[in-house]
Amino acid sequence: MRKYFIAGNWKMNHSVSETVEFCRQFRVKGLKNISSDIVLFPPSISITSMVKILEDTPVKIGGQNMHKESNGAFTGEISSEMFVDSGCDYILIGHSERRQYFNETNELVNQKLKKALETKLKPVICIGEKLEEREAGKTEDVILKQLKKGLKDITEAEMGNIIIAYEPIWAIGTGLTAKPEQAQEIHGLIRNAIKNDYSEHLGKNLRILYGGSAKVQNAKSLLLEKDIDGLLIGGASLKVNDFYEIIQIAENLTNN
């Protein structure tokens, strides 16, 4: 039986009060019997409220970004330990918006990744190519480089706690979703790379999410691809009905 992973990346959207309202409506829909892994990544300021409201549900919560140090004079930053203490289980690392607007490099992604693992926060690492890289036929090179540098010195045991999200940058927030077969091609590439670098077993069990304009209308066709294990959803995860509907699509695929 396939257990999907459906995650919502809210980015800088929904205030604390809007988050509380979302969670109330989300709970009422019924979350108890969900078999997929569900994770929400709200703005950090809403984490404690969300943790409290969703406490007795299977929904897990994560941070959108973390600092590589535990504490210190880094105004405005939040450490991995602080996310854990607030009730988070997951952390997004290396989202393309962090890479683009905050100059995050593969090296920094690797440092954050190690820190997250050390503190038992499960990392979801985002990788993906820009439109010009795709058009220049460089997609594979870009992806393999992001994997190689991002996962430098990560052991096989540690890899067991890591999730990879393939998010083609040209598809994020643009309404342009990668076609299921386009996404599958890169998911297959990622899985093979992990099989080669680690082991057949690890590659087989690795969870690889697709992100980039995933929505109700395309969720099923994406999730049916053999190497797509779940979705990292931006815009569509902000609407409780859409997010819940996508979860139901995953549940139906699992149970039928």
Among 62, 123, 203, 234, binds ligand PGA (CB under 6 A): 234
DSSP state of 73: S
Residue 130: HSE in the Cβ half-sphere, 13 Å Cα cutoff: 7
| 26 versus 210: smaller Cβ distance to ligand PGA | 210
Number of residues that bind ligand PGA (CB under 6 A): 12
Least distance (Å) from ligand PGA to the CB of residue 200? 29
Active-site option among 95, 97, 129, 187: 95
Please tell me whether residue 8 binds ligand PGA under the rule CB under 6 A.
Answer: no
CA distance 96 to 223: 22
Task: Assign 143 to helix, strand or coil.
Answer: helix
Q: Is 104 a catalytic residue?
A: no
Pick the stretch among 116-124, 134-142, 210-218, 220-228 that binds ligand PGA (CB under 6 A): 210-218
Question: Is the dihedral angle over the CA atoms 102, 51, 243, 158 positive or is it negative?
Answer: positive
By DSSP bridging, strand 60-63 and strand 37-41 are parallel
Tokens of 222: 């994406």
Least distance (Å) from ligand PGA to the CB of residue 94? 11
Among 211, 218, 223, 230, binds ligand PGA (CB under 6 A): 211
Stretch 164-203 residues interacting with ligand PGA (CB under 6 A): 167, 172-173
Please tell me whether residue 36 binds ligand PGA under the rule CB under 6 A.
Answer: no
Indicate the residue type of 159: M
Residue 33: HSE in the Cβ half-sphere, 13 Å Cα cutoff: 7
Tokens of 8: 């919502």
Pick the stretch among 17-25, 75-83, 110-118, 205-213 that binds ligand PGA (CB under 6 A): 205-213
Please tell me whether residue 63 binds ligand PGA under the rule CB under 6 A.
Answer: no
Among 9, 64, 65, 110, binds ligand PGA (CB under 6 A): 9
Indicate the residue type of 177: T
Terminal C-alpha separation, the chain: 10
Please tell me whether residue 213 binds ligand PGA under the rule CB under 6 A.
Answer: yes
Tokens of 107: 């090296």
Q: Is 95 a catalytic residue?
A: yes
Q: How many residues are recorded in the chain?
A: 256
Please tell me whether residue 124 binds ligand PGA under the rule CB under 6 A.
Answer: no
> Which positions are annotated as active-site residues?
95, 167
Q: Please report, as ranges, the residues that interact with ligand PGA according to CB under 6 A.
A: 9, 167, 172-173, 211-214, 232-235
